[in-house]
Amino acid sequence: MINISIEAIDAINQKYYQENKEVNVRVQINGIGWGGPTFGIALDSVNENDIVKKFDLFSLVVEEELIKLFGGFDIDYLDSWIGKSMIITPNRGGSTC
Is position 83 within any domain? yes
Is position 69 within any domain? yes
Is position 53 within any domain? yes
Is position 95 within any domain? no
Residue 21: pLDDT band with limits 50, 70, 90: confident
Q: CA 78 → CA 9, 11, 72, 84, distances in Å?
A: 12, 10, 20, 5
Domain CATH number, residue 43: 2.60.300.12
Give the separation between CA 38 and CA 13, rounded to whole angstroms.
22
Residues whose CB falls within 8 Å of the CB of residue 82, separated by 6 or more in sequence, listed in order: none
Is position 97 within any domain? no
Is position 80 within any domain? yes
Residue 68: per-residue pLDDT: 95
Parent domain of 21:
2-90
Contact, 63 vs 50, CB < 8 A?
yes
Give the predicted TM-score (pTM) of the model.
0.86
Q: Under the phi-then-psi rule, with left for phi > 0, alpha for psi from -120 to 50, and beta for the rest, what region is 73?
A: beta
Residue 90: exposure state from Cβ atoms within 10 A (0-12, 13-18, ≥19): buried
Is position 96 within any domain? no
Residue 96: per-residue pLDDT: 47
Number of structural domains found in the chain = 1
Give the separation between CA 38 and CA 88, rounded to whole angstroms.
8
Question: For the segment 41-94, what is each residue's pLDDT rounded down to a tens digit?
Answer: 999 999 999 999 999 899 999 999 999 999 999 999 999 898 899 999 999 865
